[in-house]
Structure 1
Amino acid sequence: MENQPNNNIKSKQELPKKCPFHGIPISRWIRFGLASLILVGFAIWLNNYTVLLLLILFVDIYLTRYIPWGFWRKSKNKTFRKTMEWVDAILYALVAVYLINTFFFQNYKIPSSSLEKSLLVGDYLFVSKLSFGPRVPNTPLSFPLAQHTLPIINTKSYIEKPQWPYHRLKGTGTVQRNDIVVFNFPAGDTVALKIQNPDYYTLCYREGREVVNRNKDIFGEIVFRPVDRRENYVKRCIGMPGDTFQVINNQVYIDGKKLKNPENMQLNYYVMTNGVRLGEQNFRDLDVSVDDRYLINDDANYNQILSYLGFTPNADGSFNPVYRLPLTQKALNKVKGYNFITQIKGEPGEFGGETYPLGYNENWTRSDYGPIWIPKRDATLNLTLENLPIYERVIRNYEGNSLAIKNDKIYINDKETNQYTFKMDYYIMLGDNRDNSADSRSWGFVPEDHIVGKPLFVWLSLDKDRKWFDGWIRFNRLFKSVGRE
């Protein structure tokens, strides 16, 4: 008798399959739901829905757990578990810092005196990326907390590919006149690593491009940096898109009208005494830092400088002490009240060096500059051989066109033209310490894609000229708002 199959025994193929989501605790569903909502909101804000592919990863992390993400927790090796705990915490922290710094907030330290006395060297700023809208990074694969170079190992902190095009997310506002703004240095696209001040373009103007590019022992390697990897600068926005900007005798004019100067604006003055030397208390009263206390008589060519400035020598041809000091109007009034001060001269604009565009107009100086029209998005400008040098870098470097002059005719992208329509808005940025600031008068316009954020307040301020119990921490500046004047 043949054995009959037992119909009560089901084959393996007929066994019911267990649902991969069966038995998952409600707490994990809640975490998955919250993470997914945040990701969906982030994708809508980015206007880039490819990031929703991360939902697949979230399903495994929070629900199915096919990939043993926490395998190390089951290890019997205590040292390995402890090490992996640190690795896990550091990775989470780096991801969090990357996202926060890229899209929300970032700390920034004031390294130079270009905005004194509005912002001081040693101020630590809380900078909002949301104020003007955060940029989607051009170089998304980068190490957090390093702008362009990793310390110690001295290598790039970012991977050059992929590079994403400029895109700014919606923010709470836009750049307004007199805002203090953090931005990427426009002339920092090309850098000679050994001599970064002055910038590469000024070096080439002074020394010759071939000299700079060939002499690596002097100037170092020549590197190229994407927009978001250029140095961060902070200045005050003075000129808006579409404005005509001009400086006459240190006074800014916008569309022919005087612009109110910042309350704490400084200019350089040469101050002669009757023979006495200024003391520490004098400098503190005038709020002049150690780095800015310069006695001209210590200069090898001081006779020529002081004669040029029109100071009166003594009978023997020598000069009494003369100090070069950056002073606000308030500090200048104090100096005028000192009975031992005999002469005061303002610093001439020609002492400021070359102006933008380099070699364009020898009569333009730091104190007498322009007029210059600021490009505005969708505005069309009639180009001539005379005004082309002003906008050449904008057309070529910032907006990515080819530009050439052939037989006194202008060619953009190999087409003859006498017009150009701008793709972005541009700004003029100046330092409040006007005679000690490398700003738009030196290197030109700031494109909108270089705008980083807006400082909200000073969260810490340290005075490097003072000691622990002598004002090292500027308590009066803690949480001081950085507003518009």
Structure 2
Amino acid sequence: MSEVKTRADVKPAKAKKSAIREWFDSVLFAVVAATLIRWLFMEAFTIPTPSMENSLMVGDFLFVSKLHYGTRTPRTPLQVPLTHQKIWGTNIPSYSTAIQLPSYRLPGFTSVKNGDVVVFNVPPKYLNENIDYPVDLKTNYIKRCIGIPGDVLEIKQRVVYVNGKEFPKPPRSEYKFFIKTTEVLDANFFRKYDIVNDYRDPNQPTENWKPQEQYNDSTKTTALVGYVLNTTEDVIAQFKNFDWVKGIEPLVDKPGETMPGIYGTPTFNWNHDNFGPITVPKKGATIQIDAKTVALYGPVIELYEGNEKVETTPTSIKINGQPITSYTFKQDYYFMMGDNRDNSLDSRFWGFVPEDHIVGKAVFVWMSLDPNPANIWNKIRWNRLFRTID
């Protein structure tokens, strides 16, 4: 008896994919997987500037967790995958603003805490090439969170106080010092103490040092050499033990001296070593409108709260043409500072970071490359690999 097959039983042989199709499918899968991981879980960043030294060094590569504070849903969905502002190696925008969605934050397992090292989209337009990027495409900055919503923050002679208590100094934070020596120091010397990006050589005199200055001892007169440098207090303690170091002084701004460009000036006589007191805005908190609150919170109300037609003067604010006498904040804000306190463009200069600008928490350094190594063998900083960020 012969077997009878229906049309359904006869299945055409599956066509074998071409090599090009196999390659395309593999690349597509990799791009989709990488995009999802980058958006939902973790993203890689590199450190381009010394504002967080010595905690984070120029050339550090780190992973930033999106899960800690909760992943943001995309505000700008029309974007080339795995890009930020521009297509790689060009000035061509990698996104379109034809569709802008409301942004939400998925649940995280913690919130931003005082002392966290945080990556965020820096708010001011002038720090974004003067381009009005969507929030999720603004330039990424990394700083330490000093003040959370509702905190009262003040800086006195470099010392940070939060709610009246001294804020613990980050263990490897740097400050600016002036040292006088009888020795000429070169880059190799400073490199031994991780001073790579932040020192000024004696060919650039400052007001603290005059070339004719001399050091006198019982046997001879020696010309002094002066250096301005940013380093940790531990390194300064070591320098004090060198007999050829003849003077060390911290370079600190005086209270009451107004520093141009500091947030809140000229209404307040603040500088980057003496700042505040200032209250970090908290969602639901209400302020009264006057000259002082306009100076501190006018930019927040105008730029980050989603208000339309905001008009500000030095003493008043109008929203949609109506003067307001008080204002209630719609979201939380944070105050960020770099660990390299005297070489950091941070909240002391441009103000608060809105909650919807928070990207994630920096968790660990997975690679570190010295941008100016003494030799090729020292290109990789082996002692920094897989270092957790505290």
Q: TM-score, structure 1 length as denominator?
A: 0.71
Percent of pairs with identical residues: 38
Aligned residue for 1:4? none
Q: Structure 1 counterpart of 2:53, which letter?
A: E
1:386 corresponds to 2:255: no
Aligned with 2:378: secondary structure?
coil
Q: Structure 1 counterpart of 2:161, which letter?
A: Y
- Which of 359, 366, 370 is the equivalent residue of 2:272? 366
- Which of 285, 288, 294 is the equivalent residue of 2:195? 288
Displacement of 1:352 after TM fit?
Answer: 7.0
Q: TM-score, structure 2 length as denominator?
A: 0.87
CA distance in 1, matches of 2:244, 2:53: 26
Gaps of 5+ in 2: 1-6, 216-221
- Which of 70, 78, 82 is the equivalent residue of 1:145? 82
Displacement of 1:92 after TM fit?
Answer: 2.0
Displacement of 1:242 after TM fit?
Answer: 0.4
CA distance in 1, matches of 2:340, 2:272: 12
Aligned with 1:463: secondary structure?
coil
Displacement of 1:280 after TM fit?
Answer: 4.8
1:314 corresponds to 2:214: yes
- Which of 166, 170, 187 is the equivalent residue of 2:103? 166
**1:159–1:273 Cα change, 3 Å:** same
Aligned with 2:214: secondary structure?
coil
CA distance in 2, matches of 1:303, 1:260: 31
Displacement of 1:82 after TM fit?
Answer: 2.6
Aligned residue for 2:283? 377
Gaps of 5+ in 1: 1-17, 24-70, 76-80, 193-199, 201-222
CA deviation vs aligned residue, 1:283-330 (integer Å, no higher than 9, x gap)? 1332211x32321x322xx264536xxx98239xx9732111111110
Aligned residue for 1:111? 48
Aligned with 1:381: secondary structure?
strand
Displacement of 1:155 after TM fit?
Answer: 0.7
**In terms of mean alpha carbon deviation, does 323-332 or 279-288 score higher?**
279-288
Aligned residue for 1:446? 353
CA distance in 1, matches of 2:259, 2:227: 17
Aligned with 1:224: secondary structure?
coil
Displacement of 1:262 after TM fit?
Answer: 1.1
CA deviation vs aligned residue, 1:139-178 (integer Å, no higher than 9, x gap)? 0121222210112342111111211122100011111110
Aligned residue for 1:347? 251
1:71-470 mapped onto 2 (5 Å cutoff): 81-188=18-125, 191-192=128-129, 200=130, 223-274=131-182, 276-280=183-187, 282-289=189-196, 291-295=197-201, 297-299=202-204, 302=205, 304=207, 306=209, 313-314=213-214, 320-349=224-253, 353-357=260-264, 359-361=266-268, 363-401=269-307, 402-405=309-312, 409-466=316-373, 470=377
**1:112–1:191 Cα change, 3 Å:** closer
1:477 corresponds to 2:384: yes
Question: Would you say the 8 A contact 1:136–1:166 is kept in 2?
Answer: yes
Higher helix share: 1
Aligned with 2:45: secondary structure?
strand
Question: Would you say the 8 A contact 1:188–1:231 is kept in 2?
Answer: no
CA deviation vs aligned residue, 1:19-73 (integer Å, no higher than 9, x gap)? xxx99xxxxxxxxxxxxxxxxxxxxxxxxxxxxxxxxxxxxxxxxxxxxxxx9x6
Displacement of 1:390 after TM fit?
Answer: 1.1
Q: Structure 1 counterpart of 2:229, which letter?
A: L
Displacement of 1:117 after TM fit?
Answer: 1.2
Larger radius of gyration: 1
**1:390–1:332 Cα change, 3 Å:** same
**In terms of mean alpha carbon deviation, does 383-392 or 243-252 score higher?**
383-392
Aligned with 1:337: secondary structure?
coil
CA distance in 1, matches of 2:156, 2:80: 45
**1:450–1:476 Cα change, 3 Å:** same
Question: Would you say the 8 A contact 1:123–1:461 is kept in 2?
Answer: yes
Displacement of 1:115 after TM fit?
Answer: 1.0
Aligned with 1:326: secondary structure?
strand
**1:303–1:366 Cα change, 3 Å:** closer
Question: Would you say the 8 A contact 2:158–2:252 is kept in 1?
Answer: no
CA distance in 1, matches of 2:359, 2:314: 41
- Higher RCO (Cα < 8 Å, 6 or more apart): 2
Aligned with 1:114: secondary structure?
helix
Displacement of 1:83 after TM fit?
Answer: 2.6
